[in-house]
Amino acid sequence: MSNVDETRTPGIDESHERVSYRSRQQFWDLIESPYVVHAVLAFAMMTVLVPFGWELITSFKANSAIYNLNYLPANPTLQTYYNVLIGEGYWKAILNSLLISTSTTVIVLALATPAGYAFSRFRFRFDNLLFIGVIFSRLFPPIGLVVPYYQIMARVGLLDDLLGVTIAQVYLWLPLMIYIMRNFFISIPEELDESARVDGCTRLQAFRKVALPLARPGIAACGILTFLYSWREFLFSLIVTSTLDAMPISVAVFKFVGDVSVSWASMAAASILAIIPTVFIVVFFQRYIVTGLTSGALKG
């Protein structure tokens, strides 16, 4: 017969512990059990999917049927979509959003990639100060800058103009993307550039032939994020646009909120239309976002 207490951890004196090691481990084992983890995930998913499902269902109802107490539409219809897209001319808003987001993405990538590279590679006077300045410009609450921005756009005649909205989007997302690209380039060993330069590259060639191809995941992640962010941006676009000539879909959705009533079904249909491209992008390109944003953390 063994006289060792088998409920105790061998070699560990538990007498001084307020809560025994064993009890604490049992608690954490429970927290990490698949049941608890799945329950938490299911709850989190519901908080995302229920409003979305509600909106999807609403979009298939006629405006007049919104206040019926049925969850599912009695007579599902695509009429609301037709009204929104063609009747209200919201296809223009979607086109505007596509133009604004695409050009914002191209401009931001064209500027953030070389800027991120320069901040990662070159040491020059006040380089850190300049970099902090870039980040700092993004720390202002956007609402505080809306009025001066409106005045500038009014002065240069870019109100209700696609270019005006695009400039705002570039201003909003460029600093963050410079920051991400800089971190990404830091994760690419500088010896690769040096090796290319010894092999015969100029600095620019080393950037173009070596650093740039290796930064593709980072560039892809930045591009996707910029597109998504500028697609859904609301505040600046709302301030500088007033008609469907330049209004992106994120603002156009809001136009269904009238002074006396809200066209819920139309707004739901417009919202669904607005998120289709973003869902598409996230589903097909999410692996680029993950690799692009994490490779720096892993390698660096």
Count of CB atoms within 10 A of residue 75's CB? 9
For residues 24 and 203, which CB has a smaller minimum distance to other proteins in the complex?
203
Residue 191 within binding range of other proteins, rule CB under 8 A:
yes
Q: Verify binding: residue 106, other proteins, rule CB under 8 A.
A: no
CA dist 273 and 52 (Å) reads 12
CB of 292 to other proteins, least distance (A): 15
C-beta closer to other proteins: residue 195 or 294:
195
Neighbouring C-alpha atoms within 13 Å toward the C-beta of 89: 7
Residue found under tokens 């296809």: 91
Does the footprint of other proteins cover residue 208 (CB under 8 A)?
no
Q: Is 205 in the site for other proteins (CB under 8 A)?
A: yes
Nearest approach, Cβ of residue 167 and other proteins (Å): 34
One of 214, 249, 251, 289 touching other proteins (CB under 8 A): 214
Residues composing the chain: 300
Cα(270)–Cα(114) distance, rounded to whole angstroms?
37
Distance CA 194, CA 41 (A): 47
CB of 106 to other proteins, least distance (A): 23
Distance set, CA 197 to CA 116, 187, 204, 213 (Å): 19, 19, 9, 16
| Span near other proteins by CB under 8 A; candidates 60-68, 146-154, 208-216, 223-231 | 208-216
Q: Rounded to the nearest whole angstrom, what is the least distance from the CB of residue 293 to other proteins in the complex?
A: 19
Stretch that binds other proteins, among 40-48, 198-206, 229-237, 250-258 (CB under 8 A): 198-206
Question: Where does this chain touch other proteins (CB under 8 A) — which range of 80-88, 156-164, 209-217, 220-228?
Answer: 209-217
From CA 165, how far away is CA 236, in angstroms rounded?
7
- Residue 127 found at the interface with other proteins (CB under 8 A): no
CB of 205 to other proteins, least distance (A): 7
Could you give phi then psi for residue 140, rounded to 5 degrees? Answer: -65, 140
DSSP count for the chain of H helices, then E strands: 14, 0
Binding status of residue 189 toward other proteins by CB under 8 A: yes
Q: Which of 143, 211, 135 is nearest to 174 (CA)?
A: 135
Least distance from other proteins to the Cβ atom of residue 221, Å: 17
The single residue among 22, 197, 232, 255 that binds other proteins, judged by CB under 8 A, is 197
Residues 6+ apart with CB under 8 A from 62: 75, 77, 79, 80, 265
Q: According to CB under 8 A, which one of 11, 141, 148, 200 is a site residue for other proteins?
A: 200
Which stretches of the chain bind other proteins, using CB under 8 A? 189, 191-192, 194-202, 205, 210, 213-214
